[in-house]
Each structure stands twice: as structure tokens, then as C-alpha cells.
Structure 1
Amino acid sequence: MKTIKKLFLFTVFAITAIGFAQETITNESVVQMVELGFDDYMIIDKINTSDVKFDASISALGEMKNAGVSSEILSLIMEKSKQNTKSKTGIYYTDASGEDKLVQPSVFSGANSNAVAQKLVSGLINSKQKAQLPKTQSNNIIRQSQPEFTFIFAPSVTEVDNMQNNQGSDSGIFNWWFRMASNPNEFVLVKLTVKEKKNLREVITGKESWITSSSGIDPKYALNFAIEEIEGNKFKVTPDSLEPGEYCFIYQGQVPQGRDNQSVFDFSIQ
């Protein structure tokens, strides 16, 4: 009887494997295999021989445990998830097809200030410094009002040290923000003002009056977002519901020597 059962499971596994062959194994895939009665060693073998995309957050692992996934498999899922984060620092969002897309940084094309107007009225108004991005729409288009972003930071301090010691290398140039920062609290989310006639988007980056001056994003313009730690260097970021428009994440932390912070991670909500 046991032999017949194993033969049946192997047959089901072989048929299912064909369906999974062109897929990436996810939390849902693992739960499906558990529900079909696959033994742990079969599921573990499938995970080890496939491309994977796991959500290893506490809530997701809890759901899988409640679905009957064993501790051994959960441990493997956590390990695989760590391996997948080591080489892809940055901000990601999931598009309509379920594929993770990297939000590439956009560089400010210019700046603007109304300092002249301030002088004309004897300093009675604040002078505003504005940074500008080309085009009226981001290349990163998201068609949902409450998207989820994944922030992935460098997994160790060693990478930061290497970046600082190799200012001319690719590791120092690409995504240095995620080697300097350690969590999403070092970024601020703001809505960009669209200037149709000038074909650009802009954000206020500082204010100055005849008495005081300030730089950076005014806290009153910062939009709220929730943060859930998935792993030590990986976080799920969920903004409050966003109306259609242009937005960006701006890094507000320490800037490494020899660098400037003239880029933002922009996206469009439609």
C-alpha cells in the first residue's frame, strides 16, 4: 500500500513539476504541494532546483505554518530568501504581471528658486529652492493606489566599507544609497508637482528667508508609509492610499564623501 502511495505521489509530483517548470516557486506553490500530499524531501528538492520568490515576513511564514508547512521547509525558505537579497539592493515594486521591477534613480535636471521675488517684497516671503526632474511622468508606472515596495539594503557593513574605499568602482556608484542606509526611515516619500508647460516635475528641497534658512524636505510634505521588516536588510514599505499623480522616494541620510544626492526614486500612480 505504501509503495502504491509513493508511486502515486511521484506521478503527481512529475505532472505538477511540468506545470512549475516555467514558473518561479513561491509561498503559494509550497502550500499547494503540501496540500497535494508531497513529502518534505520532495518539496525541498523542488525548492533547491528551481527559481524562487519567497515572502519571508513573519506574517507570511505564520500563514504557511498554519497551512501545514513544516519547520524544515520554512527554514529553507528563509535561507533562500536571504540568498536572493544579497546582490539586488534597491527599491522594487511588483507590476501587473507579478514581476518585480527595480525603481531606477532619476537625476535632477535643474533647480529653481524664487529668491528674486523675495527681494522685491523686502524679504516678506520665503525663497523656495526647487529641484526639477525631466518629463511630466515617470517611467515607473504603477496601476494601484496602495502599492507595496520592497527596500533591500546591503546585508553587511563590509559592503559599505568596500564602497567607501573604492570610490571609483561600480560598487561605489550603483545604489550607494542602500549601502549607506539601513532601513526605509532614512527615505521620505513626497508628491511631485507637475509643470505641464515646462515638461517637468519638481519638489521643494529648501526654504530661506531674511532670518532663517533650511534644506531638505519639509516634514509637512512627507507622506506616511508603513514599514514591515522581512529580514534584517529587507523591508516591505506600504504607503497610505495615493491619488493618481507623480511621486518619489528621496534619501535623507548621510551622503558619502565625494558623492552628491541629486537623484530620486520616482514613480507614477495611475
Structure 2
Amino acid sequence: MKTIKKLFLFTVFAITTIGFAQETITNESVVQMVELGFDDYMIIDKINTSDVKFDASISALGEMKNAGVSSEILSLIMEKSKQNTKSKTGIYFTDASGEDKLVQPSVFSGANSNAVAQKLVSGLINSKQKAQLPKTQSNNIIRQSQPEFTFIFDPSVTEVDNMQNNQGSDSGIFNWWFRMASNPNEFVLVKLTVKEKKNLREVITGKESWITSSSGIDPKYALNFAIEEIEGNKFKVTPDSLEPGEYCFIYQGQVPQGRDNQSVFDFSIQ
């Protein structure tokens, strides 16, 4: 009877393997195999011979444990999560097709409003520094009000290793934000103001008067987001519910010598 059961499971495993052949093994795939009654050694073999994309956050591991996934398999998932497709530094979101998409940095131009009026009245009027992005909509379109982002940092990599993101067209300026920063708290999330007539999006990045000046995003405009550490250099970032509109993450940490923080990581909620 035991031999018949093993033969049955092997047959189901072979059929399921064909079904999984064209896809990456995920948390859901593992739970499905557990529910089908596969032995641990069969699931482990499948994980070790497949492309994987695991969520090894505490909440995800807890859900899998409650679904009956063994500690041995959970340990393997934690190890394999370091080899996920999303291995390069940057900010990622999951698009409508379920694919992980990198949020490329968008270069902004600067503008100074009220500058002329400020001079005419001896600086009594504040002027505002603004970051302006071309077009009224981001190329990164997200069709859910509470998306999940993945931030991946790696302060150990070199510039040669980390050339996948360029700032603008200058190939000498690399993806330094995720080497300087160590967690998402060094970024701020803001909603962009859309200027239809000017065909642009903008956000206030500083204020100046004849007495004082300030730079950076005013805290009252910063939007809340939750952070969950997946592993040492990888974090899950979930904003509070976002209404339709244009948004961006802006780096607010230390800028290395020779670099200009002239980019934001923008996206559109629809």
C-alpha cells in the first residue's frame, strides 16, 4: 500500500512538474505541493532544480507554517530567497501581469517660484524650489490603491557592479542611492502636483526668504508607509491607501561627493 502511495505521488509530482515547468516556484507553489501530499524530499528537490521567487518575510513564513510547510522547507526558502530574480539594487513593484518591475529613476529639473516678486519686495515673500518632471503621468503605472514595493540595498557593491541604473544619459553616474542608503527610511514618499497646461508634475523641495532657507520635503507632505525587513538588505514597503494620482519616492539621505540628487522614483496610481 505504501509503495502504491509513493508511486501515485511520484506520478502526480511528474504531472505537476510539467505544469510548473514554465513558471517560477513561489510560496504559493510550495503550499500547493504540500496540500497535494508531496513528501518533503520531493518539494526540496523541486525547489533546488527550479527558478524561485520567494517571500521570506516573517508574515509570509508564518502563513506557510500555518499551511503545514515543514521547518526544513521553510529554512530552504529563507536561503533561496536570497537568489530571487529581484537581486539587483533598486525599487521594485509588481505590475498587472504579476511581473516584478524596476522603478527607473526619473531626472527632474528645478524651478524657483516667486523669485521675481521676492526681489521686488526686498525678499519679504518666500520663494519655493520645485522639482519638475516632464509629462503628466509616470511610465510606471500601478492599478491598485495599496501597492507593495521591494527596496533592495547593497552598500558593498562597487560602481562597476552596479551599473544597471544610470541617472539621465550620463553613464558615469550610477545607481548610488541604494549604496548610500541602508533602509527605506532614507526615502520620503510624496504626491506630485500635476500641471496639465505645462505638461509636467512637480513637488516643492525647498523654501527661501531673505532671512532663512530650507531644503528637502516638508514633513507635512510626506506620506506614511510601513516597512518590513525581508532580510538584511531587502525590505517590503507598503504605503497607506493611495488615491489615484502621481507619486514618487525621493532620497533624503547623504549625497556622495560628485553626485547630484536630481532624480526621483515616480509612479502613477490608477
The alignment's TM-score, normalised by the length of structure 2, stands at 0.92
- Once residues 158 and 130 of structure 2 are traced to their aligned partners in structure 1, the CA distance between those partners, rounded to angstroms, is 36
Q: Is the 2:192–2:247 Cα contact (8 Å) retained in structure 1? A: yes
- Give CA-to-partner distance per residue, 1:164-185, whole Å, 9 cap, x none: 9999999974321111100000
- Once residues 116 and 25 of structure 1 are traced to their aligned partners in structure 2, the CA distance between those partners, rounded to angstroms, is 60
Q: Is the 1:190–1:223 Cα contact (8 Å) retained in structure 2? A: yes
1:25 is matched with 25
- Comparing 67-76 and 107-116, the one that deviates more: 107-116
Q: Is the 1:159–1:179 Cα contact (8 Å) retained in structure 2? A: no
Rate the CA distance shift 1:147–1:168 in 2: closer, same or farther, 3 A. Answer: closer
The number of equivalent residue pairs is: 270
- Give CA-to-partner distance per residue, 1:118-143, whole Å, 9 cap, x none: 22334332110111111111000111
- Comparing 169-178 and 4-13, the one that deviates more: 169-178
- The Cα of 1:108 is off from its aligned counterpart by 0.9
- Once residues 104 and 166 of structure 1 are traced to their aligned partners in structure 2, the CA distance between those partners, rounded to angstroms, is 9
1:265 is matched with 265
- The Cα of 1:210 is off from its aligned counterpart by 1.4
Rate the CA distance shift 1:186–1:171 in 2: closer, same or farther, 3 A. Answer: farther
- The Cα of 1:69 is off from its aligned counterpart by 0.8
Rate the CA distance shift 1:223–1:160 in 2: closer, same or farther, 3 A. Answer: farther
- Comparing 173-182 and 224-233, the one that deviates more: 173-182
- Comparing 214-223 and 105-114, the one that deviates more: 105-114
- Give CA-to-partner distance per residue, 1:11-50, whole Å, 9 cap, x none: 0001111111111111011011011111111111111111
- The Cα of 1:114 is off from its aligned counterpart by 2.1
Computed over aligned residues only, the root mean square deviation of the Cα atoms, in angstroms, reads 3.0
Q: Is the 1:160–1:180 Cα contact (8 Å) retained in structure 2? A: no
- Once residues 52 and 178 of structure 1 are traced to their aligned partners in structure 2, the CA distance between those partners, rounded to angstroms, is 24
Rate the CA distance shift 1:168–1:161 in 2: closer, same or farther, 3 A. Answer: farther
Structure 2 runs not aligned, ≥5 long: none
- Comparing 138-147 and 170-179, the one that deviates more: 170-179
- Give CA-to-partner distance per residue, 1:93-120, whole Å, 9 cap, x none: 1111111111000001343332112223
- Give CA-to-partner distance per residue, 1:54-76, whole Å, 9 cap, x none: 11000110111111111111111
Q: Is the 2:246–2:269 Cα contact (8 Å) retained in structure 1? A: yes
- Once residues 157 and 61 of structure 1 are traced to their aligned partners in structure 2, the CA distance between those partners, rounded to angstroms, is 28
Q: Is the 1:91–1:152 Cα contact (8 Å) retained in structure 2? A: yes
- Comparing 147-156 and 112-121, the one that deviates more: 112-121
Rate the CA distance shift 1:53–1:87 in 2: closer, same or farther, 3 A. Answer: closer
- The Cα of 1:52 is off from its aligned counterpart by 1.1
Q: Is the 2:248–2:265 Cα contact (8 Å) retained in structure 1? A: yes
In the TM superposition, 1:1-270 aligns within 5 A as: 1-84=1-84, 87-154=87-154, 156=156, 173-270=173-270
Rate the CA distance shift 1:103–1:164 in 2: closer, same or farther, 3 A. Answer: closer
Rate the CA distance shift 1:173–1:10 in 2: closer, same or farther, 3 A. Answer: farther
Q: Is the 1:93–1:100 Cα contact (8 Å) retained in structure 2? A: yes
- The Cα of 1:83 is off from its aligned counterpart by 2.2
Q: Is the 1:160–1:179 Cα contact (8 Å) retained in structure 2? A: no
In terms of fraction of residues, the more helix-rich structure is 1
Runs of 4+ residues over 6 Å off in structure 1: 157-172
